[in-house]
Amino acid sequence: MQVIISVCGRFHAFYLAQQLLERGYLKKLITSYPGFEVKKYGIPPEKVNSIIITEILERGWRKLPNFINDIYNPQFFICDLFDKLVSKQIEESDIFVGWSSFSLYSLRRAKKSGAVTILERGSSHISYQQQILKEEYEKFGLKIRGAHPKVLEKELKEYEESDYIEVPSSFAKRTFLQYGINEEKLIQGFRGVDLSEFRQIPKRDDVFRIVYVGGMSLRKGVHYLLQAFYELNLLDTELWLIGTMSEDIIPFLKKYNNGRILCKGPYPQKELYKYYSQGSVFILMSIEEGFSNVIVQAMACGLPAICTTNTGGEDIIRNGIDGFIIPIRNVDALKEKIVYLYRYPQVSKEMGKQARKRVESSFTWQHYGDRIIEIYRRILSKE
């Protein structure tokens, strides 16, 4: 079995490449990252093709002021450019794995060369994603900058033309079924975590501390977390927000700031274990997310997790054992779970221990590699 991976950026593709390389199955990793960055993941230069121009364009675009994006949005141009450049580098292989929005021409070229094509979609069905986020932003009188119309059109074609679509969670799978995708076309590998990087160290105090890690936006439901924390107003508590903050969250932060919300800013991934370990519970109230790696990171650091149904958390969190799954937008349900863990600290600590065990037993990158490669083998045996 020989596999080619194509990804604009990094995502979990580099971990997939690691797992395939260890087993002798990686033919090529095509990425927008430069070779010296990929080398950090143990992928040798001869296995890597870098298309750096698209990474430069992507990062430059994200730094542009919003008013420039309103005039011209280069998202589709970048997606299409990467895809076309990748399609010229496709070699003969057994399986081609390409990231959604960046793979239509590559999928077609790989099919012509005889490969089975797998589209990686990191979130819910793009139409579902667009609709639910539009609802959320309009609820607060805001306009969402969604996917470029041509990106949406292209991705829907990718869904149609790929042999298989890998979705990251049961939640994401339900959205694809909702939009009429045949269940036989959908595969799930579930993600993992590096236990040497995410580990628990002693907590320095007895403060009941809620930890959130990730970009802060309406999509991530941070406004509901802020509201719950403010309304509870529990003694000896803190809320740590770790990550970058979008403009749409700033008004909520001002509204709900009670003096115990600490905006820590972003930190390198290798430093995050230090902050998870000072928490009592991890909370993620996302409106839409295919599968959030911060859930397994937090659990690996010994934290119970409270997450919504739309995070992918239900595939790892055992409700009431190592965390809780609650509906999206439900502030009352969130407050109830926070109060429970606040009142029963020993229960919270035991749930944190169970969370770590859960990750150790089933959700490392090695486990991910075992699962996805077994899926690849089954796919090839059908051909």
Which residue has 């599968």 as its token pair?
291
Tell me what pLDDT residue 362 has. 95
For residue 294, which amino acid is it? V
Which residue has 């309406």 as its token pair?
218
Q: Is the pLDDT reported for residue 221 higher than 90?
A: yes
Tell me what pLDDT residue 74 has. 81
DSSP state of 308: E
Mean pLDDT calculated for residue range 253-279? 94
208-362: which CATH topology? Rossmann fold (3.40.50)
Q: Is the pLDDT reported for residue 237 higher than 60?
A: yes
Q: Is the pLDDT reported for residue 273 higher than 80?
A: yes
Q: Average pLDDT over the chain, rounded to whole?
A: 94
Residue ranges per structural domain of the chain: 3-192+365-382, 208-362
Task: List pLDDT tens digits, range 163-187.
Answer: 999 999 999 999 999 999 999 999 9
What are the beta bridge partners of residue 165? 119, 186
Task: List pLDDT tens digits, range 95-130.
Answer: 999 999 999 999 999 999 999 999 999 999 999 999
Least reliable range by pLDDT among 67-76, 84-93, 162-171, 223-232: 67-76
Tell me what pLDDT residue 326 has. 98
Task: List pLDDT tens digits, range 358-382.
Answer: 999 999 999 999 999 999 999 999 8
Tell me what pLDDT residue 59 has. 77
Phi first, then psi: give them for residue 305, nearest 5 degrees.
Answer: -125, 135
What does pTM read for this prediction?
Answer: 0.93
7 Cα distance to chain centroid: 14
What one-character-per-residue DSSP string does 193-233 give? B-TTTS------S--EEEEEES-BSTTTTHHHHHHHHHHH-
Task: List pLDDT tens digits, range 195-215.
Answer: 999 999 999 999 999 999 999
Share of the chain above pLDDT 90, in %: 88
Domains 3-192+365-382 and 208-362 share a fold: yes
Task: List pLDDT tens digits, range 293-328.
Answer: 999 999 999 999 999 999 999 999 999 999 999 999
Tell me what pLDDT residue 69 has. 59
Contact assessment for residue 314 and residue 327, using Cβ atoms and an 8 Å cutoff: no
In angstroms, the CA 47 to CA 134 distance is 40
* Domain at 3-192+365-382: CATH architecture: 3-Layer(aba) Sandwich (3.40)
In angstroms, the CA 311 to CA 236 distance is 29
Tell me what pLDDT residue 61 has. 63
Mean pLDDT calculated for residue range 147-160? 94
